[in-house]
Amino acid sequence: MGSMYKDEQDDWMTVCLKYLLFVFNFLFWMGGGVVMGVGIWTLIDKGEYLSLLASSTFAVSAYILILAGALVMVTGFLGCCAVIREQRSLLSMMPSCSRLPGTIGPSVLAPIPVPAPCHTGLLWFFCPTLCMGIIIALFAVVILQYFSCLLVIFLIELVAGVLAYVYYQKLSVELKQHLRKTMTENYAQPGKEGITRAVDRLQQDFKCCGSNNSFDWQHSVYIMSPEAEKRVVPDSCCKSMTLQCGWRDHPSNIYKVEGGCITKLEHFLAEHLLIIGAVGIGVACLQICGMVFTCCLHRRYEAGNTGTRIISIDTRVDGQESLAFNAGVSA
């Protein structure tokens, strides 16, 4: 009697790689949400302060994080879908005329019965092997494209992290050189409404007055103009902000903070830059694991594609023909 048909199971390494890749893609998708969230939080949380900076590096780093996070979420989702669809296709990847082993695995001789309707010359002989080769080749292409996406996102996040770190190093110097000039020359001036709002919010949020101290306002364009109405500091310097409260600069009325607003803003931006850099570089390093898994899985499928070949055509006692496949045997 002919031997019974028995499905060939995935070998343990391929199974582990597929599950690891799926878990990685799920974590990758969640990490993308975190990266994008950090970028959005950076721009929304006191984002008005960006108008006080001479360089756009801080904003560029945040926008790069948002872009990278969106790409990560899309890539992670598609990666999970690809792994799931590939597993299903292995269960039903051949046409009704034949059935093949689930995946390329250890050397197992498995006779495959061919129903009578498919006996059409050499077509029934080559159809299963051709379909198997096409499916594995297509999946290999998908894996390579997925690897390319991971590499691009890795570079984008690395750039965001490096930019944040570089800007962190020169943040203090830039603020000391430009913040005082920005506040004293642009506050309450026509066309500078964004800077005016940013300065008012800065002084109220951080409870400070002036870039270095409240005396910085004495030589400002605003205080020396008639629009100041004899104020000595802007009203936003006051502890209890009311109309024309800036007439008095007594410590009981306005904020007197050591280091002024420069120190407060520097600490705030430095914390955000450290978070941007850590998230960008951290998630980029996580992607290295994904690229390693992808390369391993691709090599497994390439090895399986080159190792699958037909060994023999067997005729059972009852006269029905069958194909015998040997997976992974070198010629």
- For residues 260 and 208, the answer to whether their CB atoms sit within 8 Å is yes
Split at pLDDT 50, 70, 90, the class of 135 is: low
In angstroms, how far is CA 282 from the centroid of its own chain? 10
State residue 321's pLDDT score. Answer: 44
Average pLDDT of span 129-152? 62
Highest mean pLDDT among 3-17, 36-50, 71-85, 185-199: 185-199
Average model confidence (pLDDT) across the chain: 72
In angstroms, how far is CA 198 from the centroid of its own chain? 30
Element (H, E) at 323: strand 321-326
Distance CA 75, CA 150 (A): 8
* 308-311-313-318 Cα dihedral, nearest 10 degrees: -100
* 94-96-101-102 Cα dihedral, nearest 10 degrees: 60
Burial 182-199 (b: 16+ CB within 10 A, else e): bbbebbbeeebeebbebb
Q: How confident is the model over 63-83, as pLDDT tens digits?
A: 888 988 888 888 778 777 776
Output the DSSP codes for 221-276: TTTTSGGGTT-SS-GGGBSS--TTGGG---TTTB---TTHHHHHHHHHHHHHHHHH
Distance CA 84, CA 29 (A): 15
| Residue 42 CB neighbours (<10 A) | 25
- Residues 6 or more apart in contact with residue 4 via CB below 8 angstroms: none
State residue 65's pLDDT score. Answer: 85
Token pair recorded at residue 118 = 């498919």
**Whether the predicted pLDDT of 297 surpasses 70:** no
156-to-58, 130, 161, 162, 266 alpha-carbon distances in Å: 15, 39, 9, 10, 26
Beta strands in 103-228, from DSSP E residues, in sequence order: 109-113
Distance CA 203, CA 184 (A): 14
Q: How confident is the model over 232-268, as pLDDT tens digits?
A: 999 999 999 888 899 988 888 899 887 889 999 999 8
Residue bearing the bigger pLDDT, 157 or 17: 157
Token pair recorded at residue 178 = 């430009």
When mean pLDDT is compared across 50-64, 148-162, 242-256, 265-279, the lowest value belongs to: 148-162
Distance CA 59, CA 64 (A): 9
The 3-state DSSP class for residue 55 equals coil
The neighbouring-strand residues paired with 324 are 111, 312
State residue 21's pLDDT score. Answer: 73
- Residues 6 or more apart in contact with residue 197 via CB below 8 angstroms: 48
Q: What is the identity of the amino acid at 291? A: M
CA terminus-to-terminus distance, the chain: 29
- For residues 148 and 29, the answer to whether their CB atoms sit within 8 Å is no
